Amino acid sequence: EDQVTQSPEALRLQEGESSSLNCSYTVSGLRGLFWYRQDPGKGPEFLFTLYSAGEEKEKERLKATLTKKESFLHITAPKPEDSATYLCAVQARGGSSNTGKLIFGQGTTLQVKP
């Protein structure tokens, strides 16, 4: 069964304290891995797509990396405005119809204190 597990569930950092969030996945064949940010009461906001092992994407203080079993979201020198829940989702290759279905992890809630 296709599955996504994120760790830790919650993370508290001081402003400027770098860290990494983990997303482990098991799928029959990876079509794509997506990182989203979700603020309270809002929908997921797209951050990155990674399609193959070894790929990296970077945006401001965030960097996403991908291996064959997991992805990391590295946060460098975070600021209080980076506080949010970060969601990882995968698309699996599916026979004759690639429908775009996303399988989400439970998310990591990040709190950055000033």
Partner 1 sequence: EPEVTQTPSHQVTQMGQEVILRCVPISNHLYFYWYRQILGQKVEFLVSFYNNEISEKSEIFDDQFSVERPDGSNFTLKIRSTKLEDSAMYFCASSFRSNQPQHFGDGTRLSIL
Q: Residues interacting with partner 1, by CB under 8 A?
A: 31-32, 34, 36, 41-46, 49, 51, 87, 89, 91, 94, 97-107
Tell me whether residue 25 or residue 34 sits nearer to partner 1 (CB atom).
34
Tell me whether residue 15 or residue 46 sits nearer to partner 1 (CB atom).
46
Tokens read off for 18: 């770098």
Q: CB of 82: closest distance to partner 1 in angstroms?
A: 19
Between CA 82 and CA 87 the distance in angstroms is 13
Q: CB of 99: closest distance to partner 1 in angstroms?
A: 4
Beta-carbon contacts of residue 93 (< 8 Å; ≥ 6 apart): 27, 28, 29, 30, 31
User: How does strand 19-26 pair with strand 3-7?
Assistant: antiparallel
Contact 31, 91 (CB under 8 A): yes
Tell me whether residue 11 or residue 103 sits nearer to partner 1 (CB atom).
103
Q: CB of 64: closest distance to partner 1 in angstroms?
A: 13
Tell me whether residue 17 or residue 31 sits nearer to partner 1 (CB atom).
31
Question: Pick from 71, 78, 74: which is nearest to 105 by CA?
Answer: 71
Q: CB of 49: closest distance to partner 1 in angstroms?
A: 5
Contact 41, 93 (CB under 8 A): no
